[in-house]
Amino acid sequence: MDEHTYQLNSVELHKDVLRYVDAGDGPPVVLVHGLLGSHESWSGQIERLSEKYRVIAPDLFGHGASDKPSGDYSLSSHAATIRDLLDHLGIESAPMVGHSLGGGIVMQATYLFPERVDRLALVSSGGLGTEVSLLLKAATLPGSELVLPVLASDWVRRNTESFVGQLNRWGIRVRPGASMSETWRSFKTVADKGSREAFLASTRAVVGPRGQTVSAKQHFEKFDSIPSLLIWGGKDRMIPASHADSIRREIPNSRVEIFSSAGHFPQLDEPDLFFRILDEFLAANSTVAPPARAVASD
């Protein structure tokens, strides 16, 4: 499928409109993005996966093109939204792939609705340790709602991009990778009041000034019977790859892949490698995953 040939669909859930991608005709797989993300966080992967699978990729409430209501942005609320979307689509169960906050959401869905999750793939996932970037911790502090619109303003964006362009003209090459470009693109959305409020509510539901406040570790035994895959970027500055050790220790049969040159968005930094490993995982019939190993992507 050519890039961006899919369309966004809409469904009203509890009086709010959720937008989502539904592409392909094969077995279903659900892709759940992270904070400030949208279905675009899976750019390229939707197109490739939809050649073999039915890809469901929602814009979570408060994100992307979906409504941004005031209310509950907890992991459980997002997980219930995924369940409601599957009900609307007539899908009883599916593998779920969650990136960053989306990883916490699909783990919560696995805990709350285990019959709906066939396989669990976590990509640079939240909920596996306390450490997170300073940016996310700062977003939980009082007054951050006043600072964020300034940082995401057109003036700051234009001047930052102009400064980077000037450095390049001076011969100082600044070429942000796919992870940095997606982080910058996503951050610009907090200029919108509704997106900003949803970002702060979602962040504060799982992060505090000292780091992540919500952990899935107490539910690891629930995941032991579900085939699981972890993919992480070795250069992730948002959530460190060392958090994968939590799954590696507690669920020995899980498959752990570290892309040594990738950042927080390994699906964008190493799209071919990411697709190959995820496709292998989705296509596997065995409930016993291959032994953990690291993948050198440079």
Does residue 126 share a domain with residue 191? no
**Full domain range(s) for residue 154:** 134-206
Residues 202 and 263 in one domain: no
Counts of helices then strands in the chain (DSSP H, E): 12, 10
Q: Is residue 294 included in any domain, yes or no?
A: no
Catalytic residue status for 2? no
- Which residue in 254, 264, 269, 297 is the catalytic one? 264
**Coil, helix or strand at residue 114:** helix
Q: Tell me: do 200 and 232 sit in the same domain.
A: no
Q: What is the pLDDT along the chain (298 residues), one digit of tens a residue?
A: 444 678 999 999 989 999 999 999 999 999 999 988 999 999 899 999 999 999 999 999 999 999 999 888 999 999 999 999 999 999 999 999 999 999 999 999 999 999 999 999 999 988 777 766 566 656 555 555 544 454 454 534 554 444 444 444 555 544 556 766 676 566 666 667 777 777 777 777 777 666 666 666 666 666 677 888 999 999 888 888 888 877 777 676 788 999 999 999 999 999 999 999 999 999 985 443 443 444 444 4
Residue at 289 is within a domain: no
Residue 241, number of CB atoms within 10 A of its CB: 21
Residue 1 lies in a domain: no
Map residue 97 onto helix, strand or coil: strand
| pLDDT on residue 285 | 55
Whether residues 265 and 122 share a domain: the answer is yes
Find all residues with CB under 8 Å of 51, minimum gap 6, and list them: 1, 24
Nearest one of 261, 278, 236, 230 to 45, comparing CA atoms:
278
The residues, any chain, with a CB within 8 Å of residue 252's CB and separated by 6 or more, are none
Task: List Cβ neighbours of 296 (8 Å cut-off, separation of 6 or more).
Answer: 260, 261
For residue 279, give the nearest of 20, 27, 21 by alpha carbon. Answer: 27
Catalytic-residue membership of 264: yes
pLDDT at 96: 97
Q: Which residue among the candidates 236, 243, 269, 297 is catalytic per the annotation?
A: 236
pLDDT of residue 159: 45
Domain endpoint, select from 182, 206, 230: 206
Does residue 196 share a domain with residue 55? no
* Residue 181: active-site member: no
Q: What is the pLDDT of residue 188?
A: 66
- Do 13 and 125 belong together in one domain? yes
Closest by CA position to 127, among listed 258, 292, 250: 250
Instruction: Give SS3 for 38.
Output: coil
Q: Does the residue 145 lie in any domain?
A: yes
Query: The whole model's pTM is what?
Result: 0.80
Mark whether 103 and 151 lie in a shared domain: no
- Catalytic annotation, pick one of 100, 124, 202, 246: 100
User: What is the radius of gyration, based on Cα positions, of the chain?
Assistant: 18
* Domain count within the chain: 2
The answer on 194 and 263 residing in a single domain is no
Of 169, 148, 170, 151, the residue nearest 160 (C-alpha): 151
Q: Considering 206, 228, 244, which residue would you say is the last residue of a domain?
A: 206
| 128, 231: one domain | yes
| CATH code where residue 121 lies | 3.40.50.1820
140 and 113 share one domain? no
Residues 34 and 121 in one domain: yes
Among residues 206, 239, 266, which one ends one of the domains?
206
Measured distance CA(21)–CA(154) in Å, rounded:
29
